[in-house]
């Protein structure tokens, strides 16, 4: 585990750029806006997808995308990850020969921002996944995480138009990633976990976005038993979470939340009425 939380770098000049305009009173203003750029992903010699991303962690994004699409198998040996910034290309190489031409023709656009994709047979791969039934979420951890995440310096606070996802353990954020689409932020964390062999069955996953079917599928596929958001749910997301045994918590703001699946993992060890932190949730990111 990282000794210090890995967080976004809102001061990275590659991630935002200044744009001039006017405000509500007609006065000239300069604002920083998030930069998005195309990144084309190859697995061995095959082109897989072109993604729109802020481009800060192309290696993690590439590996996490392939893992979450079940194109990288758990026992695959990654022999290299090469990135060419000028071409906007990242190549992941494995010792196993791969050919996904048929699967690439069978994919579904998701409801995520920036048009995420889920390949048609991905949900079938979840049938054998068992999430840790002994994992727990203490309400004291949840309240501490919500406050810590919402007050962390971020691209959203600097420029908006961005989603964030956070890998957590107990009451500590471990890895906080942002991108123009929440699926990219998820995949960056998945790539970090895969490349660093991080244990997943005792972790908590936090997202600023909606709790959709895509978010549930990716969280279950990563083997994380608890998914939290400050935003709301979709009906299919709830249904899939219940079928998979995933703890699903939404509308987590301050000391308020709503759990619609996996409620048995929650330990109520904090008073929700006393010493409630201010609601510092960042409106508009969902």
Residues paired with residue 42 on neighbouring β-strands, in sequence order: 47, 91
Q: Domain of 154?
A: 137-267
Residue 31 lies in a domain: no
Asked, for residue 207, whether it belongs to a domain, the answer is yes
Whether residue 126 has pLDDT greater than 90: no
pLDDT confidence band for 179 (50 / 70 / 90):
very high
* Domains: count for the chain: 1
CATH at residue 159: 3.40.140.10
* Residue 100 located in a structural domain: no
Q: Is 282 buried (19+), middle (13-18) or exposed (0-12) by CB count in 10 A?
A: middle
Q: How confident is the model at residue 158 (pLDDT cuts 50, 70, 90)?
A: confident
SS3 78: strand
Q: Is 15 inside any structural domain?
A: no
pLDDT tens by residue, 65-124: 999 988 999 999 999 999 999 999 999 999 999 998 887 776 644 444 444 555 455 566
Burial (Cβ within 10 Å: 0-12, 13-18, ≥19) of residue 161: middle
97 in any annotated domain: no
Q: Please, which residues bridge with residue 92 across strands?
A: 43, 81
Comparison of pLDDT for 19 and 116, the residue scoring more: 19
Are 178 and 57 spatial neighbours (Cβ–Cβ below 8 Å)?
no
Coil, strand, or helix at residue 274?
coil
CB neighbourhood size of 245 (10 A)? 17
Kindly give the pairing relationship between strand 107-109 and strand 117-119.
antiparallel
215 in a structural domain: yes
Residue 117, in any domain of the structure? no
259 within some domain:
yes
The string of pLDDT tens digits covering residues 235-286 is 999 999 999 999 999 999 989 999 999 999 999 998 766 555 555 445 444 4
* Phi-psi sector, 254: left (phi>0), alpha (psi -120 to 50), beta: left
């Amino acid at each position: 585990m990282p000794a210090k939380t890995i967080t976004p770098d809102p001061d990275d000049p590659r991630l935002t750029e200044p744009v001039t305009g006017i405000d509500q009173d007609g006065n000239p203003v300069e604002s920083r806006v998030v930069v998005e750029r195309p990144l084309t992903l190859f697995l061995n010699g095959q082109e897989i997808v072109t993604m729109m991303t802020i481009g800060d962690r192309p290696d993690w994004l590439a590996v996490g995308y392939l893992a979450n699409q079940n194109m990288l198998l758990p026992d695959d040996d990654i022999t290299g990850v090469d990135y060419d910034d000028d071409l906007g290309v990242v190549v992941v190489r494995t010792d196993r020969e791969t050919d996904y031409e048929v699967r690439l023709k069978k994919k579904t656009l998701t409801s995520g921002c920036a048009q995420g994709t889920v390949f048609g047979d991905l949900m079938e791969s979840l049938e054998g996944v068992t999430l840790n039934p002994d994992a727990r979420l203490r309400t004291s951890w949840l309240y501490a995480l919500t406050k810590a995440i919402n007050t962390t310096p971020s691209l959203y606070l600097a420029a908006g138009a961005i989603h964030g996802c956070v890998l957590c353990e107990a009451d500590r954020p471990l890895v906080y990633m942002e991108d123009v689409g929440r699926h990219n932020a998820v995949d960056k964390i998945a790539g970090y976990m895969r490349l660093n062999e991080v244990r997943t069955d005792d972790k908590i996953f936090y997202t600023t976005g909606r709790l959709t079917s895509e978010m549930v599928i990716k969280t279950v596929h990563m083997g994380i038993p608890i998914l939290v958001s400050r935003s709301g749910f979709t009906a299919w997301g709830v249904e899939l979470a219940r079928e998979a045994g995933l703890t699903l918590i939404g509308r987590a703001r301050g000391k308020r939340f709503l759990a619609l699946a996996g409620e048995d993992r929650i330990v109520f060890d904090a008073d929700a009425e006393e010493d409630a932190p201010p609601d510092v949730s960042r409106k508009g990111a969902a």
